[in-house]
Structures are given as structure tokens and as C-alpha cells.
Amino acid sequence: MSRPFKLVDVFGTDPFTGNPLAVVSDAEGLTTEEMQRITRWLNLSETTFLLPPAQEEADYRVRIFTLAHELPFAGHPTLGTCHAWLEAGGKPKREGVVVQECGAGLIEVRQGANGLAFAAPPLIREGAASEAEIAQVAAALRIDPGAIVEAQWVDNGPGWIAVLLSSAEAVLAVEPVGSSPERLDIGIVGAYPPGSEAAFELRALFTGQTGNLIEDPVTGSLNASIGQWLFASGRAQGHYVAAQGTRLGRTGRVAMSQDANGQVWVGGRTLTLFSGQG
């Protein structure tokens, strides 16, 4: 059976500057093993598979795969999949709001003049990291534990632990280890000086299939959970723009906002660069 697919650039300022995502439509009939094999063959950080919704409130269902395993939720796959679904003619049940069904439940994606934005899901693990966890993260980042201003669990599915450094410059200066014997999902954040084009710089590091430590270009789930932390701690108010991917030669930009109800929204540019039949 021929299945349509799209390669979508998410969070970039221009084509080929964000995080690529493969979206396979009409994925009914594919087994979990086949989805994982397709993902590994494409060799992108994530590939998603569109399916009819199982829940009445949802507009579509998506399964999200990394090269190593399936995820209950991820950010750039949420925006990229929604973009592909709408571009293929999808019509949401509620005007201006698309409801995505995934392993983490129902995720709202709103359509606005500046593109798509998803509602940050609740954290499944939060709170301060232990001294042992901070030491492990510092070793992986090859920095002194004293350089970490604060460290928090900000896990909304992938398993993120986030560390705040003194500045964006300090974030960009980190030279992490090449591999880790244990699975790590680390987010690093630091502020730019007031008046800068972006308020914060983020980096996302995770352990790959073979234990190598990989840097993700632009990460919606990490921006979502770090945004919740920054807003809750008073380090950010209202809205801000985060930069990510700088060390990789990307210009990822993530628009973060918090509404009057306290809901955090994560937005960014989405653009189909290739499409075809597989």
C-alpha cells in the first residue's frame, strides 16, 4: 500500500533551519515494529504516524517514534504532525483548535495568525534534582556542579531533567561527553541579556541507541516543560522567545506564552519541504 508522507521543518526561521520531522499519513495497518523500522531507516530524530482517532474529542491520533523507542509525547512532532494533517485537508471539529490524541492523552493545538501552538501537557515528574543527579548531569556536561544555578525534573514524557546556567553564553560553551552508559535526557537553559532577540538559549541532549550523546536541534517538549518552570519561578512573565540549535548551525525559535488561566503554549513556524508517496 502506498502511503503519503511529508518532511516538515519545525521551529526554523527559514527553510532547513529548524528540526526536521517525517510524517507518514494513512498509517493504519502498520505494526509497531514496522513503524520503528521506518523511523530508523529515515534516521531523523522523530517520525510520526497518522491514524484515525480512538477518542471522540480528537481530530486525529498520532504515534511518535525516535530511533530508539516510541514516545508518549513530543513537541516538534506535535506541531509538525498537525501542520501535515491540516495541509492534507484535515478539518478540526472545533474552529481554530485541533485536538491531537497521543500516548500522553489529548493535546490542544491552536491555529493563530503566527502559526500553530500546542498546550504544554502536565508534567509527569517534577521537583528538585538530587545532589547525586546533579553530579551525574554535571559530569555528562563536563562542568563543575557549582556552575549549575538550579536543577529540576521537568519530565512531560521524554524524561527531561533541566539545568539552569548563569547565562546563554555559558549554555553555548558547554562541551558534553561523547557517550553515556546510562540513559540521559538533559535540557540546559540560560538567559540572554535584556533586549536581546531571544530571551533564553536552550540545548537538549539525549542518549542515542548506542550510548552516544546526541544534541537535538529544536525541542518542543523541552521548551514546554522548561517554560512551565520559568513561568512558575518568575524568571519569565507573559511571553518570550527561546533560541535553540545555535551550536548545530540552526536558528530555531520557539514562541512561549502563558495565558490568563496559567496554561503555557509553545509555538513556532512549520513548513513542508518535501512530500511524496512511500
Q: Do 153 and 187 meet the contact criterion of CB atoms below 8 Å apart?
A: no
> 268: closest CA among 171, 124, 250?
250
Fold of 125-260: Diaminopimelate Epimerase; Chain A, domain 1 (3.10.310)
pLDDT over threshold 90, residue 182: no
What is the CB-side half-sphere exposure of residue 61 using CA atoms within 13 A? 13
pTM for this predicted structure? 0.94
pLDDT over threshold 90, residue 125: yes
Question: Residue 16 — pLDDT band, cuts 50, 70, 90?
Answer: very high
> 24: closest CA among 116, 13, 44?
44
| Beta pairing, strands 47-51 & 60-65 | antiparallel
Mean pLDDT (whole number) for 87-96: 96
Q: Left if phi > 0, otherwise alpha if psi is -120 to 50, otherwise beta: which for 164?
A: beta
Q: What is the pLDDT of residue 1?
A: 62
Q: What is the pLDDT of residue 34?
A: 97
What is the CB-side half-sphere exposure of residue 149 using CA atoms within 13 A? 12
The residue extents of the domains of the chain are 4-120+267-277, 125-260
pLDDT over threshold 80, residue 54: yes
Strand partners, 60: 100
**Per DSSP, which regions of 54-208 are E strands?**
60-65, 70-71, 97-102, 105-112, 115-119, 125-128, 150-155, 161-164, 185-191, 200-207
pLDDT, tens digit (0-9, with 9 covering 90-100), for 224-263: 999 999 999 999 999 999 999 999 999 999 999 999 999 9
**Per DSSP, which regions of 13-89 are E strands?**
19-24, 47-51, 60-65, 70-71
Q: Do 182 and 164 meet the contact criterion of CB atoms below 8 Å apart?
A: no
| CATH, range 4-120+267-277 | 3.10.310.10
pLDDT, tens digit (0-9, with 9 covering 90-100), for 17-34: 999 999 999 999 999 999
Mean pLDDT (whole number) for 59-87: 95
Q: What is the pLDDT of residue 97?
A: 97
